[in-house]
Amino acid sequence: MNSRASRISTAFVALVALLAVWAQPALAEKRVALVIGNNAYQNVPALKKAVNDSHTVGDSLKQLGFAVVSGENLTRRAMSEQLLAFDRMLDRGDVAFFFFAGHGFEIKGENYLLPTDVPAATDGQEELVRDASFPAQRVIDRLQARGVRTAILVLDACRNNPFERPGTRAVAGNGGLAPMTPAEGVFVVFSAGAKQTALDRLSDDDASPNSVFTRYFTKELATPGLTLVQVAKRTQSDVRQIAASVRHDQTPAYYDQIVGDVVLNGSAQDVRKIEVLPELAALPPAGPHPARPMDGSVNAPIANFLRHNGGWSVTLSFADPVTAISWGFSESGPFKETGFEDAFDPRTRKRRPNSQFQLDADAPASTIYVRYVDVNGDTVGPFPIRFDPAVAVEKDARKTLEMTSGSWVAFGGYNSLNVYITHLVTYRCGIREARIGIDSTVPDRKLVLPPCDLADPFKIPEKAELYLRVPPTTKMVSVELTYRDGSVSELKTFRH
């Protein structure tokens, strides 16, 4: 082989290898979020709007198809348990969103998120704060260890120094956060710029339940078609302008290490946009692939249904590669095409078909028919898939409850001791009965949960009871669930 041919062959092999790395096939990603709001700080000044901010952001993310785990007024142990539950919900290739509203603090260039039981500290006691708090970078490290494709952190935690006390020297710092340089695949948003502080409200007459940052951030997040960068920049402009009107300097900062664009609200899926090189046209055609696996079984689709406030997301998976997907409500059609992702499938040497489609929130129980085009260009199907909204909601809620059993309840409260049951209320559609025991391993008290609302199953009703007042001497509680199908969960104990 002459040297020119050798160079071409080497370049061709390198190109194929590069494309294979760029576009490794993966399971359909999930969208999972953890939102935390801390108001009831025990040893530093309490906040007023952080819990409301977490509720507002959580509701916004549910409308964008995220499975949302939420926590409020969390101690260090409770935050640790919520983070562990968050970890367990994530798989390789998922989109992870972490939101924290509460006190944040910077020590020697590292940012810490403060749980509600962080101790009061004075000058020289920085280690006390560090040991009792959560490094923001550690949250990023955990998400990357799970192999998520896109990690989004939003921190509305740039408030004043929470350790300032009259007559004492506070831990050094002004409450603002230090700049971050995240790794690839991570997008970080601060409610204020480095070393700036964020406004809770514009004035004493400001009736908004949310902080200045959160009210504008969620508005832009709900705007269809915006990339993450556009959401951040629009929020930045909005907040800077309104803060200036009350003579305050607040410019939200963002740190972007995502290659390509991510769109969370719109027809474009939340994927990195990868340019397909012109040289792809010169690749030799792929070899034939059978429409049936080697064992002779049919390459039938498997469907997963995920409920969110905007409707239903239906995700299809196939054992073997396909080149196009369509669906409809009748065996004879009409069929709707799902379209394609901006990604290359090295198995078919074509753009990967979009494996998701949407159903309306009020879609009734029905049979959905799915067909696909195999690698030989033949249309296969249609395959019937039974869709039952009640069953799908129950299954999704139970799965989440089982994966987050360490977060069913949490201790909190400011002037009294409360047991928060927000998590159980959120995923009540998977529960027939919930029982709790106070300082007992026998759950002998029935919890009152709102009825399941299939029109908006994860929304918390306004008058729902979200906590129980318990004696201040309470050391532990036990919880046991009976799921909708009558099966009983393991007995879980939670210690204060």
Q: For residue 368, what pLDDT is reported?
A: 93
341: pLDDT strictly greater than 60:
yes
pLDDT tens readout for residues 124-144: 677 778 888 888 999 998 998
**93 within 8 A of 148, measured Cβ to Cβ:** yes
DSSP-H helix ranges across 370-478: 389-403, 422-426
Q: CA–CA distance from 11 to each of 3, 7, 17, 348 (Å)? A: 12, 6, 10, 21
53: pLDDT strictly greater than 90:
yes
**What's domain 31-256's architecture?**
3-Layer(aba) Sandwich (3.40)
Per-domain residue ranges of the chain: 31-256, 290-387, 394-495
Q: For residue 175, what pLDDT is reported?
A: 55
Indicate the SS3 state at residue 234: helix
**288 within 8 A of 323, measured Cβ to Cβ:** no
pLDDT tens readout for residues 8-28: 444 444 444 444 433 333 344
pLDDT tens readout for residues 351-393: 888 888 999 888 899 999 999 998 888 899 899 999 998 888 8
481: pLDDT strictly greater than 70:
yes
Lowest mean pLDDT among 50-59, 156-165, 213-222: 156-165
Higher-scoring residue by pLDDT: 325, 124: 325
Distance CA 177, CA 181 (A): 13
User: String of b and e for 287-312 (b: at least 16 CB within 10 Å)?
Assistant: eeeebeeeeeeebebebbbbbbbebb
Please return the burial class of 13, using the count of CB atoms within 10 Å of its CB with bins 0-12, 13-18 and 19+: exposed
Report field, pTM of the whole predicted structure over 0.75: no
pLDDT tens readout for residues 114-124: 999 888 876 66
Fold (topology level) of 290-387: Immunoglobulin-like (2.60.40)
**84 within 8 A of 403, measured Cβ to Cβ:** no
- The residue ranges of DSSP E strands in 174-309, in sequence order, are 186-190, 253-256, 302-308
Q: For residue 163, what pLDDT is reported?
A: 56
437: pLDDT strictly greater than 90:
yes
Q: CA–CA distance from 411 to each of 116, 220, 404, 415, 489 (Å)? A: 11, 33, 16, 13, 21
What is the maximum span of the chain, computed from C-alpha positions, in angstroms? Answer: 86
423: pLDDT strictly greater than 60:
yes
DSSP 91-110: -TT-EEEEEEES-EEEETTE
Q: For residue 401, what pLDDT is reported?
A: 85
Indicate the SS3 state at residue 399: helix
Instruction: For 394-495, give the CATH class.
Output: mainly beta
65: pLDDT strictly greater than 50:
yes
31-256 and 290-387 in the same fold = no
